[in-house]
Amino acid sequence: MTSVEESLTVAHLTLGGTPRENIEAAAHAGFGAVGLRICGRRPGDPFATPLLGRPDETQALRVRAQELGVRLSNVSGYQFYPDVTLAQVEPVVVATAELRIPVIVANSFEPDERRFTDIFARYCAMARERGIRVALEFLPYSAVRDLATAMRIIEAAGASNAGVLLDALHLARSGATPASIGSIPSGRIAFAQLCDAPATARDPSDEALMQEARSARLPAGTGALPLYDFLDALPADCEIEYEVARADFADRTPGERALAAAEDAARFFTAYRGRARR
């Protein structure tokens, strides 16, 4: 991989393994950083390698990443639903601090925006005490369906450590364009995720959009999303995470997926840099 790709983060969704497997796969493929899922999507969901409330495991994982020279970029933890309480999600913040990871991703399926804004503000305060930033990700199949809603919640929460996560797929499927990124106040972009997809969704239902996001993304440069414009619109120092969950790689190991992602990213960024020089 080139130096450009070594600056990329690889998403847990790209690799599909346990946290340790994903760290080792990222290192094997030459990625400089990796995002981790450390629990299920909601409290009570099964998780292959439990980390919450297990400081020995989080310390061992952190040490393994240090040994391999892989930076731990962000955590995906519990999502917010009407029955999820702050006490239930607090262990995610604690484990993130134990791992010394600077960002937690938050998603909401709570239809009451006022209630979510309140719990989101308290979640951010809990994270801020531990030096952690919270990245609110809008999903067109969730309660925070678009950029405008995400920014409204972030501003209403009044949390200095809150920012928005910009996913190229979700931006397109929510009806926005890269030009929309210009409306985001300076410092409110937590990081960005890169993948490709057809220009429009074959099925716009929530269920279909969720399945596309979780298992049918395309390698960058092989679809029709305006990815060059997307990258051009981001701040120069914005962290980019490569998030490509490929349906045709369902039976591959995390290591194989990481190598394929590295090759895809290298190919895409070579083309992107070449376009910029012309």
CATH of the domain at 41: 3.20.20.150
Rg (C-alpha) for the chain, rounded Å, is 18
Q: Would you say 246 and 3 are in contact if contact means Cβ atoms under 8 Å apart?
A: no
Q: Comparing C-alpha atoms, which of 90, 182, 38, 155 is closest to residue 166?
A: 182
C-alpha separations of 179 from 65, 160, 234 in Å: 36, 24, 10
- Tally of domains in the chain: 1
Largest interatomic CA distance in the chain: 54
Query: Is residue 275 very low, low, confident or very high in pLDDT (cuts 50, 70, 90)?
Result: confident
Average pLDDT over residues 93-104: 98
What torsion do the CA atoms of 72, 15, 177, 186 make, to the nearest 10 degrees?
0
Q: What is the pLDDT of residues 159-198, one digit of tens each?
A: 999 999 999 999 999 999 999 999 999 899 999 999 999 9
Alpha-carbon distance of 133 to 151, in angstroms, equals 15
Tens of pLDDT, residue by residue over 119-132, are 999 999 999 999 99
Which residue range is the domain that position 118 belongs to?
Answer: 3-277
Distance of CA 51 to the CA centre of its chain: 19
Token duo for residue 228: 């060059």
CB 134 within 8 A of CB 161: yes
**pTM for this structure?**
0.96
Distances in Å between the Cα of 88 and the Cα atoms of 39, 110, 177 are: 12, 15, 35
